[in-house]
Amino acid sequence: MCAGQLGSLLPHMAFSALIPRFAALWGLSAAESGAISGAFFIGYACVVPLTTTLTDRVDARRILALGSLVSALATFAFAAFARDFWSAALLWALAGAGFAGAYMPGLRALTDRLPPGDASRSITLYTSSYSIGVGLSFLGAQLLERQFGWQTAFVSVGCGPLVMVAVALSLPAWQPTPRAGTRLLDFRPVLRNRPAMAFVLGYGAHCFELAAMRAWIVSFWLFTAARSGAPSWIDAVGVSVAVTLIAMPASILGNELAIRLGRRRLIAGVMIASSLIALGLGFASAAPWPLVLALLLLHGFAIPADSGSLTSGMVGAAEPDCRGATMALHSTIGFGASFLGPLAMGLAIDGFGGPSSVAGWQAAYFVLALAAVAGLPALRLGIARSTSPASVPAQIR
């Protein structure tokens, strides 16, 4: 499943990795570039409630195979038909809708087939492999575009989801047994589950920050390199891939610490740390490139350190009969916030001087600093409203 997810994620950052290319080609503003990047996530958020709640009723592998196929075809269509802001946004939203049938249904297909017990390590391995896939997406899109052009780059990365189609078809069958009286797209039991909702809302803040950082990292490093004379061998390809790949060990380490320290404590500490680093990046936008690079790597490590803990905490707190619905709401809020993150950062850049302005990048990173701590009140409220310490699953404590 982790190998299949690497394939599913190859198209994921293809547009964001090439924002400077498309901005020049189509005359896009920073806000328009952020909106296209975020369209992937809004397409995902619109479809994932259906695709993931269906896993409470049908075998998740069927949804996984279909969603992965749609993702591949939409990426091919982007290469063939994207010509301006609107065509690119619509096609990229369709690619995100396909991914809505791959990521959370893939997690459900995995958890349905795991043995009973604490599955947090398996879940964390699956969620942290997301970072490797995103890193490969950054790497493949930029290298292929340099050699063969952006259309060939999109066709090439679009073949990746076909790997997940093959993985899904190879899984053993599994038939869920829905509880009598439950209805499709009924999220009321999830909304009443305060411990689960704490992780869901915390995940929204996490996704806002993570998607915004990844969408704009190539453009920010190009700005930094041009302003401070970074050596040519430290280019945007290497920086974007390094900052992305560091997320996998960060997520695994974060989950191990959460097992020992408690999830709430770990997640709160990570949110505060990533907010402080984002503030540092804002103040360091005019600083020498070694300091900026060091802060980018720290930021790339801090943001995803609570990713596995948030998702495994949500799975552990979900009622078994509503696990698909809980995953659906988790993903809808998370990826809806992922649409807003790149857009908000783009608006901040445009509003304070544009992508060639120090003030523009300072404003953008101050937005991320606020987003990083936005999940703290929800996380605290959700845990506080559980009826007693004994009622909170061990994975949460």
Taken in order of first residue, the domains within the chain and their CATH numbers are 2-171+189-391 (1.20.1250.20)
Which conformational region is residue 251 in: left (phi greater than 0), alpha (psi within -120 to 50 degrees), or beta?
alpha
d(CA 102, CA 48) in angstroms, rounded, equals 9
Query: Which of 186, 335, 209 minimizes the C-alpha distance to 270?
Result: 209
Neighbours of 142 (CB within 10 A): 23
Using the predicted structure, report yes or no on whether residue 191 has a pLDDT greater than 70: yes
Tokens at 237, concatenated: 């390809």
Q: Average pLDDT of the chain? A: 86
Could you tell me the sign of the dihedral formed by the alpha carbons of 189, 193, 194, 197, in that order?
negative
**Per-residue pLDDT at 253 exceeds 80:** yes
Q: Which structure tokens are listed for 124?
A: 């964390």
Q: Is 293 helix (H, G, I), strand (E, B) or coil?
A: helix
Best-predicted range by mean pLDDT among 75-89, 238-252, 264-278?
A: 75-89
Enumerate the H helices of the chain as residue ranges.
2-8, 14-17, 19-26, 30-53, 60-81, 85-99, 103-112, 120-148, 150-158, 161-170, 188-192, 194-228, 236-245, 247-261, 263-283, 289-302, 307-317, 323-351, 358-372, 375-384
pLDDT grade for 193, boundaries at 50, 70 and 90: confident
Please state, for a pLDDT cut of 70, what percent of the chain lies above it.
Answer: 92
Question: Could you tell me the pTM of the whole model?
Answer: 0.76
pLDDT of 6 over the 90 cut? yes
How many other C-beta atoms are found inside a 10 Å radius of the C-beta of residue 110? Answer: 21
344: number of Cβ within 10 Å: 21
User: CB pairs under 8 A, 24+ apart, for 221-229?
Assistant: 221/296, 222/20, 223/355, 223/356, 223/361, 224/285, 224/289, 224/292, 224/293, 225/289, 227/286, 227/358, 228/287, 228/288, 228/289, 228/292, 229/289
* Distance separating alpha carbons of residues 44 and 38, to the nearest angstrom: 10
Asked if residue 348 has pLDDT above 60, the reply is yes
DSSP 323: H
